[in-house]
Amino acid sequence: MPIPKKKAGEKQKDFMMRCVPQLMQYHEKSQAIAICYKSFQGEEVELETYNDYPKGARNNAKKAIEFKEKNGSSCGTQVGWTRARQLANGEKLTRKTIARMASFKRHQQHKDVPYTEGCGGLMWDAWGGSAGVNWAINKLKQIDKK
């Protein structure tokens, strides 16, 4: 996820109006503002991201994607399938993304629904399954301790 760069002659207000909404896809608003401010000032900004999730989370996401590609499915949202691709590809995730994964625990009661009988099990696996959701919960605690 690239951080927007200041355009020649661009005013800070205009840059912030362009930069902050872009980064809010990945970060909390206050973090996005801080990152954009530093970037406008010309500081090099390195974002903390994480991909130390367990192999089981990657495998669960791959299994869900493979099922959808082979059988089709109207289950889930674009966000859910984006998450599945991120996990399957081993991509680095921001704190905000990890927090969204952790909040997916609310769907745990549907995790055992067979893929062919509903969306619960398929989307649970798309979000990394129990391995991914439990990792996210613990990782979030670890990040927030810093």
Residue 90 CA to residue 3 CA, distance in Å, equals: 21
Is residue 90 predicted with pLDDT exceeding 70?
Answer: yes
How far are the Cα atoms of 64, 113, 115 from residue 119, in angstroms, in the given order?
10, 7, 6
Identify the pLDDT of residue 70: 97
Q: What is the pTM of this model?
A: 0.75
Radius of gyration of the chain (CA): 18
Identify the pLDDT of residue 3: 81
E runs forming strands in 27-130 = none
**What average pLDDT does the chain have?**
92
Q: Are 135 and 128 in contact (CB under 8 A)?
A: yes
**Cα angle, residue 98 at apex, residues 74 and 45 outer, rounded to 5°:** 120
Is residue 146 predicted with pLDDT exceeding 80?
Answer: no
Structure tokens at 16: 């912030």
Q: What is the per-residue pLDDT across 5-46, written as a single tens digit (0 to 9) for each? A: 888 999 999 999 999 998 887 777 887 888 899 889 888 877
